[in-house]
Copies of this chain bind each other. A is one copy, B any other.
Amino acid sequence: MKHLREELWFKTPHRRDYVNITEQVEGLVRKSGVRNGLCLVNAMHITASVYINDAEQGLIEDYDDWLEKLAPHEPVSHYRHNRTGEDNGDAHLKRQIMGREVVVAITDGELDFGPWEQVYYAEFDGRRKKRVLVKIIGE
């Protein structure tokens, strides 16, 4: 069994940002030499998500509006978590909607994707350095 482990680092400019990381993950699959296996991509921080959906700017803005409606940032006093001195209570909730991780099949040395699948890093409490883990196993 082959395996590869790498981190991707981000420091996004805004509190919330959506970064297409598909090419970086594809590069790691090639680097791993795995022809058939599984590729796990997960946020290592608990106020961010990794998800798969469309690389379409209108949709990304729809997601952002919708998440802000389901778990608004303001008033920060609404969240008990923010009594710890944080202001990111909403980010912990948004991340549960969008998910922590994706698991993608590797077939013939490539991410085995449908026509529109793209991997995104979704940041809900940015402007500081945070990481994504890529773990690949297979042969």
Contacts and interface: CB of A to CB of B under 8 A. Distances in A.
Interface of A: 1, 3, 5, 36-38, 40, 42-46, 51-54, 56-59, 61-63, 66, 70-71, 79-84, 89, 92-93, 95-105, 107, 112-117, 131, 133, 135, 137-139
Central interface residue in A37, A71, A92, A102, by most chain B CB within 10 Å: A92
8 contacts: A3-B36, A38-B40, A42-B104, A52-B100, A56-B81, A62-B81, A99-B99, A114-B133
Copy count, this protein chain = 3
Contacts of A83: 58
A37 B139 CA distance: 12
Contact of A135 (B1, B81, B107, B139): B107
A53 B59 contact: no
Contact of A53 (B51, B80, B82, B96): B96
Given A38-B38, A52-B100, A97-B97, 20 more contacts: A1-B36, A1-B37, A1-B138, A1-B139, A36-B137, A38-B40, A40-B103, A45-B114, A45-B116, A46-B53, A46-B117, A51-B96, A53-B92, A56-B84, A59-B80, A59-B92, A66-B71, A66-B93, A96-B97, A107-B135
